[in-house]
Amino acid sequence: MRVATAVAGLLTLLVVSGGVRPAEAQRWDRRARIEPNLPYDGKFTFARIRYTVHRRSGWEFDYPTMERHLMTMMETVTGLRPHVAGSNVHGLDDPELLNYPIAYLSEPGYWIPNEAEAKGLREYLARGGFLIVDDFMRGEWYNFEESIRKALPQAQIVRLDLSHPIFDAFFRIKTLEMSYPHDPYLQAEFYGIHEDNDPSKRLMVVINYNNDIGDYMEWSGEGWWPVDTTNEAYKFAINYIIYGLTH
């Protein structure tokens, strides 16, 4: 699919105008209860992975504002008609997760799955699920790699470049140059895990390292981050979802 320049302009317009405003969405409160999951109805629902907090929290960062913004943008610029006003939270060992083809894992630098969760992720990916890993940096990589190998012990984690189809799944992304939102000197890197470790087969996991597209999207109505970079975060996220749904 190709998207005209006018669509990219629409992203800018929405961000600049505050068309999707964090202040209008529910903020995450450590004392607040997670919103009830939406019942399965076949309509696209954004699913976030919840995990046990060992050293510090992280799985819920940007929740649920990021979900609201991203699903509003998905509805605006694609033919997908997702749930916009709600989203789901699932553990990796929750059988209900298998109903949702795209899952989002935040702060994997603090994610330590148990055996049931590792098995659940392995089954989810084997059945065609697609995992987006986001919001971690520097030495947090080591915990992520150790944890993902509990589910996929033979996985080859490969660096992705612009030639990968995921960067042309909806928007044609022109550069992978991006920085971590709170550290402009920390350059983003993109990695992936392919089915059977074969680059000619589908990508099962996309990994945003030294990056946090969730944060860019959460604050897109507040003007915290440059508009161009925020637009790119939306493009990456939309490409990931479209790729996951079509592969």
Residue type, 147: S
Segment 22-41 mean pLDDT: 64
Number of domains in the chain: 1
| Residue with more model confidence, 57 or 139 | 139
What's residue 179's pLDDT? 93
Please state, rounded to an integer, the average pLDDT across all residues of the chain.
89
Band (pLDDT 50/70/90 cuts) for residue 2 is very low
Whether 51 is covered by a domain: the verdict is yes
Beta pairing, strands 130-134 & 203-209: parallel
Query: pLDDT at position 4, please?
Result: 34
pLDDT level of residue 11 (50, 70, 90 thresholds): low
- Residue 13 above 70 pLDDT? no
Instruction: Provide mean pLDDT across the span 33-47.
Output: 94
What's the CA gap between 97 and 121, in Å, rounded? 9
What CATH code is carried by the domain that includes residue 54?
A: 3.40.50.12140
Q: Taking 80 as the threshold, does the pLDDT of residue 14 lie above it?
A: no
**Integer CA distances (angstroms), 205 to 58, 98, 155, 246, in order:** 19, 15, 10, 14
Average pLDDT over residues 133-141: 97
Q: How far is CA 140 from CA 36, 74, 84, in A?
A: 30, 30, 31
Say which residue, 157 or 13, is predicted with more confidence: 157
Q: Is residue 32 included in any domain, yes or no?
A: no
218 in any annotated domain = yes
Least confident of 36-45, 46-55, 138-147, 201-210: 46-55
pLDDT band at 56 (very low <50, low <70, confident <90, very high): confident
Distance CA 112, CA 109 (A): 9
Q: Is residue 35 assigned to a domain?
A: no
Inside any domain, residue 38:
no
Q: Is residue 39 part of a domain?
A: no
End-to-end CA distance of the chain: 14
Query: Taking the alpha carbons of 160, 190, 192, 5 in that order, is the dihedral positive or negative?
Result: negative
Q: Is the pLDDT of residue 28 over 80?
A: no
> Does the residue 68 lie in any domain?
yes
Q: Which domain holds residue 15?
A: 5-27+45-246
Please state, in angstroms and rounded to a whole number, the distance separating the CA atoms of residues 227 and 13. 9
Closest residue by Cα to residue 158 from 128, 118, 200: 200
